[in-house]
Structure 1
Amino acid sequence: MKRVGVKTAVLSITAPGACILPSRHARAQLARQLNEYSANLRDKDPKSFAFFVSLPDILDTDDALAEIAYGLDVLHADGITLFTRYGPSNTYLGHPDVEPIWAELNRRACVVFVHPTHPVDTNPVNSKLPQPAIDYPHETTRAAMDMITNGTRLKYPACQVILSHAGGALPYIISRVTTPMRKAADFAVSHRMGTTHDKAMESFRSFHFDLALSSSPQVLDMLLKMVPLDHILYGSDFPYAPITAYPAFLESLESYEMDTELRNMINYGNAMKLFPRLARQRNGTL
């Protein structure tokens, strides 16, 4: 869940979503049920709720495209939820098999919320570390790097892509990809990765980053230095985290020193630019 205004939240069904079911028909059916249920919640209180479309496995291309059309054109959702990877071959979001989905979302200039699914290796590091602690942020990092190195973000720039949890480890490790590319002598590195320093950084800065469970001073310091200020969004991750986590992360965000203009941008202003319907509704023009 993402707060985009004083009293408005965007509802998103995160992993495993409809992909949990084994058959193509069942996945498509469950995605439709999730979307109609979410639309019904929104319609009961449109000033408080919006929602992102849930999709079946996006490798079921025709089914996914049909649900995109239904969710956006019929149910009037405000965006789409994608997971970091799909299918038994672990297809991440920069793979050519996903391009029909990106092409359609780009045509619609859609807001896309990327949320991690479970890691390929589901064995925990140890019994004290549940998957969301480290594996989910790493999944987001893998998907984002896949999109950067395969040129997905530059090829489909009309999509406004939100990475959950401050982009995982992406802000921390992006220099591992881009710094060697500054040197002409490292042509081989650029050739292998299929991009350049400037293109990689342009792709990186094109993402939007939500602060769900990611509002420590260290994270905020890095984001504020590395990404456009209008690409940072409040996020809560409610109700997936332990109930004690929310006040702790909110306290970190509220106690971080920033001016009122920036705080208002992060709390709701930036999101209102992404969701003009909500902005119109908040201003009483809808």
Structure 2
Amino acid sequence: MTTRRRTLIGMGALAANALSLGQAPQARATEGAESGPANDESRTATADFPLARAIDVHAHYITPTYRQALIDAGLDQPDGMSAIPAWSVDGALELMDSTGIAAALLSVSSPGFAVGDHHTARALVRQVNEEGAALVKANPTRFGLLASLPLPDADAAVEEVAHVFDVLKADGISLETNYEGTYLGDPSFRPVLAELNERQAVVHLHPTSPACWEATALGRARPMIEFLFDTTRTVTQLILDRVVENYPDIRFIVPHAGAALPVLADRIAAFALTESTPPVDVIGALKRLHYDVAGFALPRALPALLHLVDTERLLYGSDYPFTAEAAVKALGVRLAATDVLTAQQRQRVLSGNAARLFPRLADGGNS
């Protein structure tokens, strides 16, 4: 059985499971998307619109330029997945309308821009950022941009930070968990972190394959477990190397319900006691971060995360299109039905918390 067929079967089973929790979302046309669900303040989460008024902080875009660059670099099966998923503006808006998502922050997923030498990567980052900004300009109430940086070239990355914020008016930054095996807390990246701290940037972390994936992935697609461990690894470094402490104005978003951090937090904190005097306050640092609930947050990951942080730190994420449309809808129904969150907490997760991080989108794209 092919990987693609297994994926489709698995997503079908997920959708069937969600149907037992409530009526499946009904499709809506994209006509009138600009003034439709994004501005319908009366909508509440139901089986028809399980993600009513949500601001999706973990959504991806794949422009023709970027797709071709991946293909040319031999990355047409990114991170061991079967294919680069299809993506279009119309398709994204149709999914948003059919679930009630008001706005989505667009970013580039793994494998990022590891497509050649640093000069090639730098040029591609600039072009894809420009294309992302054009998508936002054409759909200002529906899309935001979390721009990419050409790391591990720190000097180029500092220049790109200035460009994306001062010229493109990006809403934030998306960083891979490692760049060519160098993790985000590495001293070579400190000039970039200092610039992001100065700008009080929102920085969404996104996992990618670790440098050692050939030995650790067990011959399977890296998003299954390697992504979660790589997120855990880079956040652990950011905390233990005091990046979170020394750059307090960066507002980090950790994906996938905190990955393995809720389970490992106490273990990391215990080891931190042996590393420095005074020791790093690991639990305190984790509580200051933000977390999206993209992927399989229920039934187990979200309750574990809630033992670490309160709901004011949680944000909705779809991971579309790397999470297929059927799965996004099924997971949305599951989130709408869970008793882990009260109705007030659920709306906070869907939109209220993100509105504080991304006020432009909370204000209908006008600020």
Q: What is the TM-score normalised by the length of structure 1? A: 0.88
Q: Secondary structure at the match of 2:224?
A: helix
Corresponding residue for residue 222 of structure 1: 304
Indicate which of 202, 208, 215 corresponds to 1:111.
Answer: 202
Corresponding residue for residue 172 of structure 2: 79
Paired AA for residue 15 in structure 1: S
Q: Secondary structure at the match of 1:209?
A: strand
Indicate which of 191, 197, 222 corresponds to 1:131.
Answer: 222
Paired AA for residue 182 in structure 2: T
> What stretches of structure 1 of length at least 5 have no aligned partner?
182-188
Q: Secondary structure at the match of 1:10?
A: strand
Deviation per CA, 1:190-237, whole angstroms, max 9, x where unpaired? 24267636x111111111110110321221212222113211000000
Aligned CA-pair RMSD: 1.9
Question: Would the aligned equivalents of 1:6 and 1:268 in 2 still touch at CA under 8 Å?
Answer: no
Q: Cα 1:262–1:98, aligned 2, differ >3 Å: closer, same or farther?
A: same
Question: Would the aligned equivalents of 1:103 and 1:156 in 2 still touch at CA under 8 Å?
Answer: yes
In 2: Cα distance, 1:93 partner to 1:204 partner: 16
Paired AA for residue 192 in structure 1: E
In 2: Cα distance, 1:193 partner to 1:237 partner: 37
Q: Secondary structure at the match of 2:170?
A: coil
Deviation per CA, 1:106-136, whole angstroms, max 9, x where unpaired? 0000000000111222236444x32111110
**Equivalent residues, number:** 269
Corresponding residue for residue 232 of structure 1: 314
Indicate which of 164, 176, 188 corresponds to 2:267.
Answer: 176
Deviation per CA, 1:25-49, whole angstroms, max 9, x where unpaired? 1111101101110011001110000
In 2: Cα distance, 1:134 partner to 1:193 partner: 30
Corresponding residue for residue 201 of structure 1: 283
Q: How far 1:21 moved relative to its partner?
A: 2.4
In 2: Cα distance, 1:38 partner to 1:7 partner: 18
Q: Secondary structure at the match of 1:133?
A: coil
Corresponding residue for residue 350 of structure 2: 267
Q: How far 1:152 moved relative to its partner?
A: 0.6
| 1:1-286 paired onto structure 2 within 5 Å | 3=56, 6-18=101-113, 20-57=114-151, 59-87=152-180, 90-123=181-214, 125-127=217-219, 129-178=220-269, 180=270, 190-192=273-275, 196=279, 199-257=281-339, 258-281=341-364, 286=367
> What stretches of structure 2 of length at least 5 have no aligned partner?
1-54, 58-99
Q: Which has the higher contact order (CA 8 A, sep 6+)?
A: 2
In 2: Cα distance, 1:241 partner to 1:98 partner: 30
Larger Rg: 2
| Structure 1 moving runs of 4+ over 4 Å | none
Q: Cα 1:247–1:262, aligned 2, differ >3 Å: closer, same or farther?
A: same
Paired AA for residue 101 in structure 1: V
Normalized per residue, the structure richer in helix is 1
Q: Secondary structure at the match of 2:286?
A: helix
Q: Secondary structure at the match of 1:70?
A: helix
